[in-house]
Chain A
Amino acid sequence: MSALLDVKNLRVSFPTPRGPVEVVRGVSFTLGRERLGIVGESGSGKSMTGRSILKLVRAPGKVTADRLSFDGIELTAQSERQMRAIRGARISMVMQDPKFSLNPVMTIGEQIAEALLTHQTLPRSEIRARVFAMLESVRINDPERVAKLYPHEVSGGMGQRVMIAMMLIPEPDLLIADEPTSALDVSVQAQVLDIINEQIVGKGMGLILISHDLNLVASYCDRILVMYRGEVVEACKASELGQTKHPYTRGLLAAMPRIDENRDELPVLDRSAWATA
């Protein structure tokens, strides 16, 4: 069986006065209809990797890859118009910056309806019902009120859930979720991730979950990639993340505070120790 997504030697670079700087440096992985987590410190290239798959890296950023194929389609060879047909309908991405990616002059309800209609037509009454049901499933308890609000009128966590609703409603084959729940309290976070999980497993979708929260990827993914400075430094089963021997991953684990925290200072990463050349 061929993979849903096959990425080989992905590179992203930005021009600087001192020449181009690579922020993703030869990332390769394959993804089936499974859940892949990407973790790593800030600036390690997680979001750029996700955006590259949808060809959403803005100029002057430059993306190259030996292979970037999705369900047999070579994405690098697709035109912008062809990509628009793939985005949303087949691959959707929950961006790290929800309010940035919501349209400020459209209500929440209109935007979710628009996402629903990307590749089908439905009668009005059904659109309304589907939009409300979707909002409810991401634990927004008063969908009628919230559907009428504009993005600046919802709380941080509500904005994230609206984005998730928009990305799930067209039922794509692959969902890329970049820090989708960073603004949610643990209890809503668990509920929302369960919803995503149900859809992924139930409909046989693929998921790339980008997060700096190691607990979260460990409990919601099958496999994990750890990125550092644009490279994948470790790949493991999610269940093995707690036992990892890699110094970088261990450093990340130690840096997390615990609920019974008594340390006066948290250990931080000594980046010089395993800097790649």
Chain B
Amino acid sequence: MTAISLKNLDISYGHTQITHGVTLDIAAGASFALVGESGSGKSTVLKAIAGLAPQWKGDIAVNGKPRSHGIDRGFSKMCQMVFQDPYGSLHPRKTIDTTLSEPLDIHGIGNQGKRVEETMAAVGLDRRFRFRFPHQLSGGQRQRVAIARALMLEPRILLLDEPTSALDVSVQAEILNLLKRLRREQGLTYLMVTHNLPVVSFLCDRLAVMRGGRIVEVADVAQLKAGTLVDPYSRELLAANKGHALESA
């Protein structure tokens, strides 16, 4: 089955068209990466799927159901998004506890205290942060809250926008292991935007490379690992990545 299907997707903000004919099929249970140039429209694609960029032409279907142009309640139980900007996405006046309980409230789910504690533990957040406000946390701690919030409703599909780029490598490793384990245990589907190619190698099985609002290449991760991507821009990314890999003893 196809979890996410995009056909000839043209997304615009006002008079500016951002993407051009984006077409992708992501199988249920797959972990798919979207990489590419900054400003090329990666976050915009995720936002359109999540209903946050309503101005589009073409087709979006999630679990076989065509998506409407607005916000859709049932949709949020099925598919959740983790935002690139953990600062903007957390409400400054709400404690972590409130932020995490809220989705449960909206969907009338009980046993909230226990669920909050379990999810905090799952993302490696110490219990003492539970009643803090976002400004009392470091950057990485806030990003873990954002991931925890997306997991609260146990969605089937996660749209992840740079989920670990604000994290240090040890916390990144914990989150990547967590995402890998969740996917294995619960058969989740991921569509993840990242600029970190090694993260793609670890977590994903396929990837699409975007530039200037278009997909320039879709490949298996095996090709990424072997360095055999073919599009010139993809090869440029590979070369830049090699350029600064640390020689460790």
A residues in contact (CB < 8 Å) with B: 14, 39-44, 47, 58, 96-97, 99-100, 145, 153-159, 161, 179, 182-190, 212-216, 218-219, 241-243, 251-253, 255-269
Contact = CB atoms under 8 A, between A and B. Distances in A.
Contacts of B172: 212, 255-256
Contacts of B174: 268
B217 interface: no
Given A47-B139, A157-B38, A258-B245, A182 B166 contact: yes
Nearest to A248: B170
Interface string B168-212: 111111101100100000000000000111110110000000000
Interface in B220-246: 224-227, 236-238, 240-246
A42 B171 contact: yes
Given A99-B85, A100-B88, A156-B162, A186 B241 contact: yes
A182 B197 contact: no
6 contacts: A47-B138, A158-B39, A183-B195, A186-B196, A243-B248, A256-B173
B173 A42 contact: no
B38 A184 contact: yes
B225 A261 contact: yes
Contact of A257 (B37, B135, B166, B202): B202
Interface of B: 13, 16, 35-39, 43, 84-85, 87-88, 135-136, 138-141, 161-162, 165-174, 176-177, 180, 195-199, 201-202, 224-227, 236-238, 240-249
A255 B170 contact: yes
A188 B36 CA distance: 10
B85 to A, nearest CB: 6
Nearest to A141: B39
B237 A186 contact: yes
B241 A266 contact: no
Nearest to A21: B128
Contacts of B85: 97, 99, 156, 159
Contacts of B161: 156
Contacts of A266: 173, 176-177, 202
Smallest CB-CB A-B distances: 5 pairs: A42-B140, A157-B38, A212-B168, A185-B195, A266-B173
